[in-house]
Amino acid sequence: MTHRRPKRPRPKPPLSRRPGRRTVTTPDPDPTAHDQPADPAAEPFAPVAGDPVAPDSGDPFAPVTGDPVAPASGDDAPETGPLRRCLVTRERAEKASMIRFVVGPDRALVPDLSARLPGRGMWLSARADVVETARTRGAFARAARGVVAVPPDLLARLRAGLERRIADLLGLTRRAGQAVAGFDKAGEWVRSGRAALVVQAADGSAEERRRFLSGRDIPTVAPLPAAVLGAVFGRDRAVHVAVAPGKLAAALRIEAERLAGLVAPDGGETGRGRVARQAGPPARPAGAARDDGARQGGQRQGSRRQDGRLDGSGAGEAQANGQGPTDRRTGIARTDRRTGIARQAG
């Protein structure tokens, strides 16, 4: 009996050597060419000069220059640069003179007086009427694209916050030796040219403040009452404060101007070389009350009189006598101003 040896399976040849699969390998003439950046001019889809599509934008759906769907209002633009747009007036202004707001995690509106809180900011001009318009007409909800809880006393909170910031800045200037209080000390700084800003009490005497300035051309603000100014300098009251030039003086002036805009619609108590205007609604003229009282008294007396000259009987009698029409209030016949002749009835 003959035994056959089992056949060993032959290994399969490589794919490139199989029948019907012929490959051609071309040697690379320059192996380092792959490490060099490609020439933009050789790319068929390279952007040409003036192409609005930025090759490194990274966002294929980002609006390009001239795109009609790009936001023109600037609300969605990143907060870069010194200018911001007001939600109500739509005017651009320096962000230092405006007030920033953000929406908290609980959808509550948070004033950001220092402009440092995280989140997308909403800006308003530092004016009382602008803040009230934004609060009552839903400007914050439209800008935030959702429900925003706006406190009803928003304007009062802004005023209180700015007053605290001004008091803190005055404390810093005092501790740094850049501010003095008192009529004599502050006046000496003003006369010697060491003062870049004068802070006066809002409730101080206008005549005294005018006498302190003596017509000098120097920026003047009056944001706080005398008691608050005195507390900063360790006294009961302080009406005049002189501040040396520097960053603290510039910050004080900005904060005082923002507070003045929220207190008075005409800009509040700020100025140069003069007594600042009194904040609040404009005062009525001195004789306005007397004129109103006299006018009301005359109306009451006229209603009580029943003497024939003021009612229709006096006028009818005068017309019947040929004297022409008469004045219902005085009973005197009306005359032509040009000729002096009494007008004829009818």
Q: What is the mean pLDDT of residues 241-266?
A: 90
CA gap 199, 325 in Å, rounded: 66
pLDDT at 71: 39
Q: What is the mean pLDDT of residues 303-326?
A: 45
CA gap 43, 38 in Å, rounded: 8
CATH code reported for the domain at 83-152: 3.30.1230.10
pLDDT at 186: 93
Indicate the range of 21-30, 153-162, 279-288 predicted with least confidence.
279-288
Q: What is the pTM of this model?
A: 0.56
Could you tell me which residues are beta bridge partners of residue 334? none
Domain(s) of CATH 3.30.1330.30: residues in the chain: 157-272
Print the SS3 string covering the chain. CCCCCCCCCCCCCCHHHCCCCCCCCCCCCCHHHHHCCCCHHHCCCCCCCCCCCCCCCCCCCCCCCCCCCCCCCCCCCCCCCCEEECCCCCCEEEHHHEEEEEECCCCEEEEECCCCCCCCCEEEECCHHHHHHHHHCCHHHHHHCCCCECCCCHHHHHHHHHHHHHHHHHHHHHHCCCEEECHHHHHHHHHHCCCCEEEECCCCCHHHHHHHHCCCCCEEECCCCHHHHHHHCCCCCCCEEEECCCHHHHHHHHHHHHHHHHHCCCCCCEEECCCCCCCCCCCCCCCHHHHHHHHHHHHHHHHHCCCCCCCHHHHHHHHHCCCCCECCCCCCECECCCCCCECCCC
pLDDT at 126: 95
Q: What is the mean pLDDT of residues 253-264?
A: 92
pLDDT at 264: 64
Read off the pLDDT band of 53 (50, 70, 90): very low
Question: Residue 344 above 70 pLDDT?
Answer: no
Mean pLDDT of the chain: 73
Q: Which amino acid is located at 119 in the chain?
A: G
Percentage of residues in the chain having pLDDT higher than 70: 55
Going from the C-alpha of 48 to that of each of 44, 52, 59, the distances in angstroms are 10, 9, 19
Q: What is the mean pLDDT of residues 298-307?
A: 48
Class of domain 157-272: alpha beta
Indicate the range of 80-84, 194-198, 237-241, 294-298 predicted with least confidence.
294-298
61: Cβ contacts below 8 Å, ≥ 6 apart: none
pLDDT at 101: 96
Per residue in 81-140, pLDDT tens? Answer: 789 999 999 999 999 999 999 999 999 999 999 999 999 999 999 999 999 999 999 999
pLDDT at 217: 85
CA gap 311, 297 in Å, rounded: 19
Question: Residue 164 above 90 pLDDT?
Answer: yes
Residue given tokens 């009406």 in the structure block: 239
pLDDT at 122: 95
Per residue in 207-250, pLDDT tens? Answer: 888 888 887 889 999 999 999 999 999 999 999 999 999 999 99
